[in-house]
Chain A
Amino acid sequence: MRLRNISINNLRRRKAKMAFLTIGLTVGIATIVTLVTLTRSMSSDIERKMDEFGANILITPQSNGLAMNYGGISLGGVTFDQREILEADLDRIKTIANSKNISAVSPKVLGGITVNNREVLLVGVHFESELKMKQWWRVFGNEPKTDHDLLLGTDAARVLDVSPGDKIAIKGEEFTVSGVLEQTGSQDDSLLFANLPKAQKLLGKEGKITLAEVAALCSGCPIGDMVTQIAEKLPDARVSAIQQVVEGRLKALDQFKRFSYAMAAVVIFIGSLIVFVTMMGSVNERTVEIGVFRAIGFRRSHIMRIIMLEAALVSLLAGFLGYAVGMGGAKLALPFMAESKQAHLIWDTTVAFGSIGLALALGLLASLYPALHASRMDPTEALRAL
């Protein structure tokens, strides 16, 4: 019989009380684990979605020119030494150090054409990457599938008086309007989209592009680094980050993270209170027992060791259980919390060891006062009978 046997036997033979204590702490730890894991998983999901939605890097041809527009009114401009980007050059983007962070590259060719005696701006795109990047697009009709399918902005469709399924002729070739975009409120409303190779042919710009939009996943890499890396690969192009997009995303993520940390702090506080109240209750329940220990000659430090060892054992168990339950809870909750089906749970050893460490620290800290209180108990008061 050693002091540790007293602690172990108490936990082993008072299963209901031990279960209550463990459940109290487990709930606290599980809540923290669930919240932290959900926050991290959702942050990652949001970050990924924000990066996928819309471009954050723009690649345009290098030129010495000045744009002359103000408040949406264009007065033309002066451009000289205009260089061009070849579509084949874009393959070099895949060789940059942070190539794994590139979600989509969407090259575009632009040019004016005449349709039904009206001037329209034709934009050649790779529909697959364009639709991935502009997930807010809603298409009436069908998404374009062949070279002879067109997608029209809502204003362009109205001006040309066409609807999905109609045929239109461009430079003697017949095209089908496969779909019309729902009003976006942007420049896309007045554009006519065609498949890139076909648009290049119609505009007489085979193999060339006017600009390219890049969607980069910013997590783990500063967008500035990627801009530099791409610029090095494409010396004839001007590569720039769309700062307002990047900063907007970082700000939104920062707000979300701050909110979740505040929530985690509240949960940690509540968890500590649960442990403290439960341990105090447990100590108060054992008043007579502690009185007996003191009467037969146990020192205060002996009482402290018994209570703290119990707290440590329960905390460790609650830490393991809390982590398992918390991760289970996060796994169940994630599909409801995250909109994206691709959101995945982040398994992190830091959270695993952190939750066990936190449980131990919380259990010991919250038990410190009850243990001190127990060790300072007046044995006569504790026993009352004497």
Chain B
Amino acid sequence: MALIEIVNVKKEYISGDESVEALRGVNISIEDGEFITIMGQSGSGKSTLLSVLGGMNHPTSGSVEMAGVRLYELAGEKLADFRAEHLGFVFQSFHLIPYLTAIENVMLPLAIVKMGNQAKREFARKSLERVGLGAKLDRLPNHLSGGEQERVAIARAIVNNPRILLADEPTGNLDSKTSEEVMSLFCELNDAGQTVVMVTHNPDNGRYADRTITLKDGMTVGAH
């Protein structure tokens, strides 16, 4: 059975008197350990699809099943618990917390986990070493370059060893050299068994993925 099963997902936004269909019946199946890129033009619905996948945006209709759990049937804060346990997020603008050091940012997902502080620090340190930032643990985000901030964001996303890594335009704010380094990092994580779903509009990033799904006007128009 697939790790992620998206069945006929529709998402409609109401804007004044008008309704906008961001997703119009999307069906996607993603296997455990796959590296998927989702591509499409601006307004094609790829970011909406990622937020639906991340359990943060209730679809108007359809279902999202992840690791055998129907995401939007989870009651109350169980959805937040699911995100904490199974999902890792990497955002386009990194979204590091400016008043926390690199290692503190990475430790954030562990702040709500019952674990000794020393153990949390050790997990975060290993995670930062894994992305090549073992020497800059105590730097604040504004003392790190764009590429380094992206690495901290990735380390934060993988520190709790989630089954699925969701990334939204992770190279959108980086130069081409740094972009390649970051993409190589995602490949390494995927090679180690991590399932990666990445939204990107850069066709070059597609070559790192096992499969690319293209969206147009809220619908899948192709997969290769």
Interface residues of A (CB under 8 A from B): 1-3, 5-6, 9-10, 12-14, 288-289, 291-302, 378-380, 383, 385-386
Contact = CB atoms under 8 A, between A and B. Distances in A.
A292 B51 CA distance: 12
Contact of B77 (A14, A299, A380): A299
B112 A298 contact: yes
A6 B47 contact: no
Chain B CB count within 10 A is highest, among A1, A291, A379, A385, for A1
Interface of B: 47, 50-51, 54, 56-57, 77, 80-85, 87, 89, 91-93, 95, 97-100, 104, 107-112, 117, 120-121, 124, 140, 156, 168-169
Contacts of A6: 97, 100, 108, 111
A296 B168 contact: no
Given A2-B117, A386-B56, A297 B50 contact: no
15 contacts: A5-B111, A9-B104, A13-B100, A14-B98, A292-B91, A292-B108, A293-B108, A295-B56, A297-B85, A298-B80, A298-B111, A299-B77, A299-B81, A300-B80, A385-B93
Nearest to A292: B95
Contacts of B107: 1
A300 B47 contact: no
Nearest to B52: A380
A327 B104 CA distance: 40
Nearest to B84: A297
A124 to B, nearest CB: 80
B56 to A, nearest CB: 5
A296 B51 contact: no
Contacts of B82: 297
A379 B47 CA distance: 13
A5 B104 contact: yes
Contacts of B169: 385
A380 B77 CA distance: 16
Nearest to A14: B99
B112 A297 contact: yes
Given A6-B100, A295-B54, 5 more contacts: A1-B108, A2-B111, A3-B111, A5-B104, A386-B91
A298 B87 CA distance: 12
A299 to B, nearest CB: 5
B111 A386 contact: no
Contacts of A383: 91, 95
B219 to A, nearest CB: 20
A67 B54 CA distance: 98
Given A1-B111, A3-B111, A297 B95 contact: no
A13 B105 CA distance: 14
A1 B125 CA distance: 13
Contacts of B89: 292, 295-296
Contact of A386 (B50, B80, B97): B50
B173 to A, nearest CB: 10
Nearest to A301: B77
A9 B138 CA distance: 13
